[in-house]
Amino acid sequence: MENFDKVEKLVQKTGISYEEARSVLEQSGGDLLDAMILLEQSGRIKAPKNSSYSTEYEAQPRYEPVAQALEAASRSGRMQGESGWSKLKAFGKKVWHFLCSNYLLIHRNGNLVAKLPFWGVALILMMTWYLSLVLVVVSLFFGFSYRCQGEKDMDKVNRVMEKARKAAENAKEAFEEET
């Protein structure tokens, strides 16, 4: 609402002059409610006869207590204002935390060659997944091994990676025996 509209609304509600309304609005920082309160406090307008103010829920039976409403909403899993976007945002935060707090360790002959965060690995895989997978398989034949490290328990993944390394090592030995 523009300043002129606020002045006009204040004049209509209170019956004061335009100049007086503009002056009171300037004093209240452009807030209509504050302007009305200033006018009531200065005695330029009368306060409504049958108004009452209360912060108690019992005094306003048409409202249910906020604490009870929030508890009921959280039990049902539907917080007011929680949309699909906020759920997606929360999921995105969890994924980002996972990608930042876990690492892929690359070893060659027992020596650490690189330590990449999962977000870097995910980025590389998204851009060059076909080349990356070929390089990983070929690198197993040249003494490279891969392990995961981080907040999450990575034992299952590490066991699979160890089996892949052993399979590549066995295939390499079998090939060397044949030649």
pLDDT at 176: 87
Examine the pLDDT at 115 and tell me if it is beyond 90. yes
Examine the pLDDT at 77 and tell me if it is beyond 60. no
pLDDT tens-place string over residues 29-67: 888 888 888 888 888 887 766 656 555 555 555 555 666
pLDDT at 114: 93
Fold of 3-42: Helicase, Ruva Protein; domain 3 (1.10.8)
Split at pLDDT 50, 70, 90, the class of 17 is: confident
- Domain ranges for the chain, please list them: 3-42, 97-178
pLDDT at 116: 93
Split at pLDDT 50, 70, 90, the class of 6 is: confident
Q: Which of 29, 9, 34, 23 is nearest to 1 (CA)?
A: 9
pLDDT at 126: 92
| Sequence letter at residue 134 | V
**Structure token pair of residue 32:** 């209509």
pLDDT tens-place string over residues 158-176: 999 999 989 999 998 898 8
Query: Residue 43: left if φ>0, alpha if ψ -120 to 50, beta else—which one?
Result: left
118-140 helix and 155-178 helix, angle to the nearest 10 degrees: 20
